[in-house]
């Protein structure tokens, strides 16, 4: 008997037209729609994954159908190629949004007759509550840095993340001129969607930043004068602008020093800021403005956290709650 013939391997189909369209779409997103660099990069990554699927499935740039998109999403959910592991529904939904935006742009530009993603449904997302940490744990974390050079910097970082509810990207993008200690305000110039907002700084955050600017930052700045760090508020140990990864490392180290068992991220402090504000009686629209949320719906998830806290206090305190 002859040896069984192996099925031919389908070769990827290069699609230079697709690459050109992606470049045009990303340029449009950044310069005409004014989307943030992080959003543009997310679009780029999502479309690169979609491109791999199209190449290996033999789908041409002008012949995409809703069935192709649906199959792609199913592969992402199941962890089949081009995915290396199953994706969460929220991630699959975000990747569909990227593809949908891309083909909507092509249809508007007249490159395609219709958007093939219009009839594709977004995967249902499970609504998970933000994880806030108790105030006692926040205070332990804020007290963990020593009064040395990097300790004063780290204290200022932690106080601003929690005291102003900043995103990590907003924090590392701050310049010295963005902070007004006299009026107790920080100007967030590069918020999500490139929208600016002013956020108040409490007394603790103002003292921490003032202490850092007084001696710690000048000492760090002398270690390295680079164009990228010029004017940056937070500097790394070499004198350059602190990166997102560097900020994560700071928080991880300080959480460990404070003896916190739970995972604490910059976003954890942002969640805690919002939850503790609402627990203290703040109006939800004020919290929306402070967080820089475009939609009140985004902020309303924190009311679920506060409602659960109210029920917890009620059930543990009211004499008839467990009757």
- 199 forms beta bridges with 186
302 catalytically annotated: yes
* Cβ partners under 8 Å of residue 70, min gap 6: 120
167 catalytically annotated: yes
Q: Which two tokens stand for residue 92?
A: 């699959």
Question: In this structure, are residues 158 and 266 in contact, taking their beta carbons and an 8 Å threshold?
Answer: no
267 catalytically annotated: yes
Q: Which two tokens stand for residue 223?
A: 């270690």
Q: Name the active-site residue from 241, 270, 271, 276.
A: 270
Q: Name the active-site residue from 155, 217, 241, 293.
A: 293
Q: Name the active-site residue from 267, 285, 311, 318.
A: 267
d(CA 181, CA 204): 11
103 catalytically annotated: no
Q: Name the active-site residue from 51, 75, 167, 241.
A: 167
Helix %, strand %, coil % for the chain, to 5? 55, 5, 40
d(CA 66, CA 257): 52
Q: Name the active-site residue from 52, 192, 197, 309.
A: 192
276 catalytically annotated: no
Q: What is the total residue count of the chain?
A: 323
28 catalytically annotated: no
d(CA 21, CA 25): 6
Q: Name the active-site residue from 43, 87, 212, 302.
A: 302
Indicate which residues carry an active-site annotation: 167, 192, 267, 270, 293, 302
């Amino acid at each position: 008997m002859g040896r069984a013939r192996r099925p031919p391997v389908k070769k990827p189909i290069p699609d230079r037209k697709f690459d050109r369209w992606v470049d045009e779409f990303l340029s449009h997103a950044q310069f005409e729609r004014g989307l943030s660099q992080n959003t543009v990069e997310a679009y780029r990554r999502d479309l690169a994954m979609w491109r791999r699927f199209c190449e290996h499935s033999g789908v041409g740039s002008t012949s995409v159908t809703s069935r192709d998109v649906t199959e792609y999403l199913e592969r992402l959910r199941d962890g089949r190629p081009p995915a290396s592991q199953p994706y969460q529904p929220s991630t699959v939904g975000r990747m569909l949004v990227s593809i949908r935006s891309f083909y909507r742009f092509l249809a508007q530009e007249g490159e395609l007759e219709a958007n093939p993603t219009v009839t594709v449904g977004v995967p249902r997302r499970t609504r998970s509550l933000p994880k806030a940490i108790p105030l006692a744990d926040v205070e332990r974390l804020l007290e963990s840095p020593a009064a040395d050079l990097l300790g004063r910097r780290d204290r200022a970082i932690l106080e601003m993340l929690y005291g102003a509810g900043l995103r990590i990207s907003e924090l590392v993008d701050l310049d010295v001129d963005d902070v007004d200690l006299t009026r107790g305000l920080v100007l967030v110039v590069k918020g999500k969607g490139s929208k600016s907002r002013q956020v108040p700084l409490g007394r603790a955050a103002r003292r921490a930043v003032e202490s850092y600017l007084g001696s710690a930052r000048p000492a760090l700045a002398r270690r390295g004068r680079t164009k990228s760090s010029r004017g940056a508020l937070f500097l790394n140990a070499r004198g350059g602008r602190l990166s997102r990864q560097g900020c994560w490392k700071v928080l991880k180290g300080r959480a460990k020093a404070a003896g916190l068992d739970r995972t604490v991220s910059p976003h954890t402090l942002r969640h805690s800021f919002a939850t503790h504000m609402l627990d203290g009686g703040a109006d939800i629209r004020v919290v929306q403005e402070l967080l820089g949320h475009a939609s009140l719906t985004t902020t309303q998830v924190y009311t679920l956290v506060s409602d659960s806290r109210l029920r917890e206090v009620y059930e543990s305190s009211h004499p008839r709650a467990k009757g």
